[in-house]
Structure 1
Amino acid sequence: MTTYPVFDGHNDFAWEVRKQFGYATEHLGGSIPTTQTDFERIRAGGLAAQYWSVWVNPDKIHGADQVTATLEQIDFIHRLIAAYPNELGAARTAAEAREVMASGRVASLIGVEGGAQIGGSLAVLRNYARLGARYMTLTWSRTIDWADSATDEALHGGLTDFGRDVVREMNRIGMLVDLSHVAPSTMRDALEVASRPPIVTHSGALSLCSHPRNVPDDVIREIGARDGVLMVAFVPSFLRQERRDWDVNGGGGEAPAVTVKDVADHIEYFRDLAGVHAVGIGADYDGSDEMPEGLEDVGCYQALFAELASRGWSDADLRALGTENALRVLEASDDDYTRFMAGEAGEPIGRTAALIGSVEEE
């Protein structure tokens, strides 16, 4: 069977390396049995481009320390690329990603997983972009000062006024707005404000599985209409209702099986509501302890393509799913990003210090 290249929207390898190896890059070139990601399995799975997630655990790291930890994560990604130049290549735009992919290396991009990591400052957001971050997830699993999360108490009814400014500023500087993790009200507010195609980097369809991390039908349709992309996560509790119910009820006994077929069902659901141009893959490897049978690690992507091919998917549609949709959405914001990096994007939107009502003079 044809090996289809994959542009994956979300991988938490950086945090795993922090936990297991203290950000050391030595010895990452071989097999790593304690992670779901290593170069040997990357080659086997056909991974061609990756948004490497830079995530900070807000339950353990607070305030300005989240900014520091985010910078450490970004630094690690840059050092990883430099340490393994035959395997990875830095990319910030779709054109750069295609060039790296054509060289046989993994085009490596950065996504920030959580709006709390800007510390309430649009200046921090802009500096993440300058360091190569091309998307930000508006929240992680906790509601923050300016946006409601899907898995925490709602405090704002979606986005605050500053949250809307965050979305506008991300559009201005070419950072993609990621709607994974956020409450449906936050999704809808962001779509109301956004002027560029949005993304969902690692979620499923709410109608197929009632996990609050999943996306409701009206948002799925709207993202398709906005020429965005919805990237399906492989997290078992997002994929099958019986597995979600088992988790909610305490997880006793044997877990209901989740397989590659369940992932394919979510991809087809997104396709049917949003269009084949709006589907992608955001597995969340190294962000979930368990993965579906047949998709246990980054070496297994091609099993998903085989399943979809057996359902009648064309070669063109499989290539759109694998890489082309994600590249198209990135490219739609590349001119904004290029202008920003050249200092030609105009004046910032909103206040730099988001949570300060006025500038105080000493």
Structure 2
Amino acid sequence: MSQGLTSEEVHRSAIVLDTHADTPQRFVDERWDFTGPLAGGMLSLETARNGNLAGELFALWVEPTQWQGRFAHRAFSLLDGLLEQIRLHPEAMVLCTTADDVLAAHASGRFAAMVSIEGGHAIEADLGLLRLFYRLGVRAMTLTWSNTNEWADSSGDIDDPAVVHHNGLTDFGREVIAEMNRLGMIVDISHVSDKTFWDVLEVSKAPVIASHSSARALTNSARNLTDEMLVAIAKTDGVAMVNFYPAFIDEDYRLAWSAQRPERQRAHAALEEEYAGRPVPFAASTLIDREHTARLPRAPFSSLIDHFMHMIQVAGVDHVGIGTDFDGIPQPPDGIDSAADLPRITAALLERGVSAEDVHKILGGNFLRVFRAVQAVAQP
């Protein structure tokens, strides 16, 4: 890549891809349009264009308590919401199921919409449902959310004695990984327990990703990856994406946020009573978290960049990417309010000494490589 480019020129010349946003809930619960005003969110077509975001791995997140007994139904509803946006705006966005699709979308000036399931409970322990999701365009699955499911342990409840755990993956969980490999579906280990992580790397024949996890060495959250995990992901030629959630990138913020937890739990419980057994829309529940977030100083932007630099140092620049968690977190760190602010990441990485060529890898090239590698392992 030619030298002497400004940070803006470096950013604009990259294919920028984000591997985690919870925006589909807005399509369904708020009847919000991706091409409309941002309206309190973090990702829209306009902000994507302003931030040169070429594509998104949209998460189908099924809240495990609110949708008990209807996990797949909710996931299909969220998928339908995304597909309807694509149907309504074919000139602006397109469903992409391969790396080549992403490149073609970029060349045509359309936003690349990719799809992931967040939380393996959405397949209801049914490989047929997994295959059906694949046939409808889903190309990745985060094996667990914060809840342990029938076949894989989560980091979110691993210390809860009331939850039945499996010591990692069950035999069926290993079948899920094998079927994902066969299909060409990306295995995503964000949210899983440490033992599940190591079981997955032992089983998977394709590289894995951590779609939205940061570095545990800097911020002591079980959701983050240890240095040993980062090295292991690199050895499989996978990619770990930095999460923008303040509690995962700044230790002081994590401790302050944790201290608020009892108060937040009471507020959420009162909201659930108000809805009297009906699923609480995420737009309503996230207001509680945003109110509590507003009481804390914003996490510094430098903390986010520290995670990028640490993960580059430990895993190598070929194994780091971006997983913002937009529309799934109450607030990003200072200086990042929406996808329009992504050029700040490029500028900061260049200032820290990362080359323009390596910044391009982090912004999207590394994910495209893994996307291709996963689909190369697929079998008809």
Q: TM exceeds 0.5? A: yes
Which amino acid is the alignment partner of residue 149 of structure 2?
A: I
Of 47, 61, 76, 2:81 maps to: 76
3-state secondary structure, aligned to 2:30:
helix
Q: Which residue of 2 aligns with 1:204?
A: 214
Q: Name the CA distance, whole Å, in 1 between partners of 2:96 and 2:260.
A: 42
Structure 1 residue 156: Cα displacement: 1.1
Of 214, 217, 229, 2:227 maps to: 217
Q: Which residue of 2 aligns with 1:30?
A: 36
Consecutive unaligned residues of structure 2, counting only runs of 5 or more, are 1-7, 160-164, 262-291
Q: Name the CA distance, whole Å, in 2 between partners of 1:334 and 1:166.
A: 16
How many equivalent pairs are there?
334
Q: Does 1:314 align with 2:314?
A: no
2:206–2:377 CA contact under 8 A, matched in 1: no
Of 63, 67, 83, 1:61 maps to: 67
Q: Which residue of 2 aligns with 1:323?
A: 364
1:55–1:114 CA contact under 8 A, matched in 2: yes
Q: Which residue of 2 aligns with 1:185?
A: 195
Which amino acid is the alignment partner of residue 245 of structure 1?
A: L
Q: Does 1:50 align with 2:91?
A: no
Of 296, 299, 302, 1:255 maps to: 296
Q: Which residue of 2 aligns with 1:135?
A: 140
Q: Which residue of 2 aligns with 1:125?
A: 130
2:15–2:365 CA contact under 8 A, matched in 1: no
Q: Name the CA distance, whole Å, in 2 between partners of 1:153 and 1:16.
A: 30
Structure 1 residue 336: Cα displacement: 4.4
Q: Which residue of 2 aligns with 1:91?
A: 96
Q: Name the CA distance, whole Å, in 2 between partners of 1:322 and 1:46.
A: 10
Aligned-residue Cα RMSD (Å) equals 1.6
Residues 119-171 of structure 1 show CA distances to partners (whole Å, capped at 9, x for unaligned) of 11011001111111111001001111111111103611111111111111111
Structure 1 residue 267: Cα displacement: 1.2
1:94–1:334 CA contact under 8 A, matched in 2: no
Q: Which residue of 2 aligns with 1:162?
A: 172
Superposed counterparts of 1:279-318, under 5 Å: 279-318=320-359
3-state secondary structure, aligned to 1:265:
helix
Superposed counterparts of 1:9-20, under 5 Å: 9-20=19-30
Q: Name the CA distance, whole Å, in 1 between partners of 2:306 and 2:158.
A: 30
Q: Which residue of 1 aligns with 2:279?
A: none
1:259–1:295 CA contact under 8 A, matched in 2: no
Are residues 233 and 47 of structure 1, via their aligned partners in 2, closer, same or farther at CA, if it must alter by over 3 Å?
A: same
Q: Name the CA distance, whole Å, in 2 between partners of 1:242 and 1:29.
A: 37
Are residues 74 and 204 of structure 1, via their aligned partners in 2, closer, same or farther at CA, if it must alter by over 3 Å?
A: same
1:201–1:282 CA contact under 8 A, matched in 2: yes
2:27–2:82 CA contact under 8 A, matched in 1: no
Which amino acid is the alignment partner of residue 156 of structure 2?
A: T
Q: Which residue of 2 aligns with 1:41?
A: 47
Percent identity between the aligned chains?
Answer: 35
Structure 1 residue 73: Cα displacement: 1.2
Structure 1 residue 250: Cα displacement: 2.0
Which amino acid is the alignment partner of residue 327 of structure 1?
A: L
Consecutive unaligned residues of structure 1, counting only runs of 5 or more, are 340-344, 346-362
Q: Name the CA distance, whole Å, in 1 between partners of 2:232 and 2:85.
A: 37
Structure 1 residue 256: Cα displacement: 4.1
Q: Name the CA distance, whole Å, in 2 between partners of 1:18 and 1:211.
A: 31
Superposed counterparts of 1:337-352, under 5 Å: 337=378, 339=379, 345=380
Structure 1 residue 255: Cα displacement: 2.0
3-state secondary structure, aligned to 1:255:
coil
Structure 1 residue 34: Cα displacement: 2.1
Q: Which residue of 2 aligns with 1:109?
A: 114
Q: Under a length normalisation based on structure 1, what TM-score does the superposition of the two structures give?
A: 0.89
Q: Under a length normalisation based on structure 2, what TM-score does the superposition of the two structures give?
A: 0.85
